[in-house]
Amino acid sequence: MILRIIFLFIGILLVVVGITSIILYLNLLSIGCSFFEYLNFIIRRLECINLIIGLIIIYITAFIGEWK
């Protein structure tokens, strides 16, 4: 049970880092980058990929059965 809570906490932290980075990189749109250039940029950044990794960890911890 404590291991699931730790993994859930790690997943939440990764999601927060990913969302924060995506929001901060929105400044690229104000300097003239197109939306597709923005998407191309954020899918190649590790801190933005943390969002997807965190969501996967949260899904696994929330919906997979009890670990033994």
Place of tokens 């696994």: 60
User: Which helix (H) or strand (E) covers residue 26, if one does?
Assistant: none
Q: State if pTM tops 0.95.
A: no
At residue 68, the pLDDT reads: 57
Identify the segments of the chain with pLDDT beneath 70: 65-68
Those residues with Cβ within 8 angstroms of residue 36's Cβ, 6 or more apart along the chain or in another chain: none
At residue 62, the pLDDT reads: 86
Q: How far, in Å, CA of 52 to CA of 15, rounded?
A: 7
At residue 64, the pLDDT reads: 81
Overall number of domains in the chain: 1
At residue 12, the pLDDT reads: 96
In a domain, 68, yes or no: no
In a domain, 67, yes or no: no
Q: How far, in Å, CA of 50 to CA of 55, rounded?
A: 8
At residue 22, the pLDDT reads: 92
In a domain, 50, yes or no: yes
